[in-house]
Chain A
């Protein structure tokens, strides 16, 4: 593991999922200095975890990722895996930590391709050992070949839940039960978006998958499950019309953009009603409200892996034009087919968003459920703080420390905002997001103190030339 070799770069791409790989691939042969940092030990992002050594049963799904990775490798970027970006300043200067040492690098352009995280599912018992996210279990399968065993219950809604059930079947495992929490009425609300979905490439893929899973796994419906430990060991999950014992419970109710890096850089966010989350404000090229910083892929709004690759490529073309490597006509000509391809995938998205959107009560913490996992704050405590005068997530920090634990609000921010909004009778847009501040990942003072300093740095601190 090595630190960035230089102090400054033409372009820094953060993230090595489809958007990051697409952005880097597009820069091949352009002669720019390009730093490519990723927090994970190997490229691919969450969708292509374990890309270096895919399991044979899942290898088919990696073909596109492998092709994209080899295109990205051809760009000869300085690729740093295991590198955590803990600071992004509008300048744009980035704090990068690798193996316990840090360095600040300056970038003329930055593309943030930091992807998505799973939407919190704050039900009673979601903090118990043996309860984890579907995405987490999928990571263990893809990267380490670990398959959930015993009585495995999948709980929630969204394409990933069904995909993972199908992947378990593909490797010879079988969930004991799927508890589908999709709100009644979603299908009706999604119907008006059906034409776009029918025209998108999602249709064939989704139908076959649902059929395979439904044939092999019992499916129950319930909108408000709760989990508790069994005295004899193991877990019990109960819902409106039933209960089941489980050894492992996997939760999922969709994914939302991971906005901390964009927020730290000062990029404006807006509330998306369709996806019920905050999304960075971007234009068609992915440019944020901060000059020089673009956001590509699911981090700019959930659109899936294919759209993310196109988004990364489109953002890179804009960066190359801004750096003077290509002219506007070349940029537009190269972007046209990418924009068209992305539009085909985006066309199917509104249907999926509407079909799988958890209802507000499923996105707020029930009084008896933990809202903030780090500081162990309950939904009841949250509501009481609102009645005592906490107006939003940033004021709430002073009351309850929500968002001040090690995850810095990544897990609780949306729950907190939506619960406050409901309690105050306002929209989440009116409440606004939890502010994320640098450093956006924990870094020790020793590591900051040990960073190399220039003569200019010393002069700045001493206040003389």
Chain B
């Protein structure tokens, strides 16, 4: 659904995990961009109907790209710069209350 232009492909590789699987992004990626670049269009299941939803605005206003990043739920994946070793997972439904 997205391909990276060659001049962006040559940017430094950032390793991370998506849903527990090893993955690679590039320097300058937001988490949402890195996930979309993997061909994953859905980043979460919604809080109400639990249906798949993907990033929508990519500029921090729609809150549709909420993901669990390094164990912290409800993070705006389009606003979080990808960092080496990040653990990125889909947000499934609403954030669970603390035990």
Interface residues of A (CB under 8 A from B): 39-41, 46, 50, 53, 55-57, 82, 117-118, 127-133, 135-137, 139-140, 143-150, 171, 247-248, 258, 373-376, 405-407, 410-411, 442
Give 21 pairs: A residue, B residue, CB < 8 Å, sorted on A. Answer: A41-B81, A127-B51, A127-B53, A129-B54, A133-B57, A136-B55, A137-B58, A139-B59, A140-B36, A143-B28, A143-B30, A143-B33, A144-B8, A144-B26, A145-B8, A145-B11, A148-B2, A150-B1, A376-B48, A407-B61, A411-B61
Across the interface, which residues of B come within 8 angstroms of A127, CB to CB?
51, 53, 64
Q: Which A residues lie within 8 Å of B19 (CB)?
A: none
Interface flags, B53-85, vs A, CB<8A=1, else 0: 111111111111010000000100001010000
Contacts of B5 in A (CB 8 A): 55, 57, 145-147, 171
Contact among B49, B52, B61, B81 with A258 in the assembled complex (CB-CB below 8 Å): B61
Of residues 1 to 38 in B, which have CB atoms within 8 Å of A's CB atoms?
A: 1-5, 7-9, 11, 26, 28-30, 33, 36-37
- Within 8 Å of chain A (Cβ to Cβ): is B42? yes
Residues of A within 8 A of B7 (CB): 55-56, 145
A118/B57 in contact, CB under 8 A: yes
- Contact residues of A: prevailing secondary structure: loop
Residues of B within 8 A of A143 (CB): 28, 30, 33
Question: Other CB < 8 Å A-B pairs besides A55-B7, A146-B4, A373-B64, 18 of them?
Answer: A55-B5, A127-B64, A130-B1, A131-B54, A132-B54, A133-B58, A145-B9, A146-B5, A146-B36, A146-B37, A148-B1, A149-B2, A149-B3, A171-B5, A373-B62, A374-B63, A405-B63, A411-B57
Set of chain A residues within 8 Å of B2, measured between Cβ atoms: 140, 146-149, 248
Please indicate the chain A residues that have their CB under 8 angstroms from the CB of B4 in the complex.
144-147
Chain B residues positioned under 8 Å from A405 (CB to CB): 47, 63
Query: A117 touching B64 by the CB < 8 A rule?
Result: no
List of B residues within 8 angstroms of A258 by Cβ? 61
**Which residue numbers of B lie inside 8 Å of A, CB to CB?**
1-5, 7-9, 11, 26, 28-30, 33, 36-37, 41-42, 46-49, 51-64, 66, 74, 79, 81
Smallest CB-CB A-B distances: 10 pairs? A145-B8, A136-B58, A129-B54, A406-B63, A129-B42, A129-B41, A145-B5, A407-B63, A376-B48, A139-B58
Q: Contact between A146 and B66 (Cβ–Cβ < 8 Å)? A: no
Residues of chain A within 8 A (CB-CB) of B47 are 374, 405
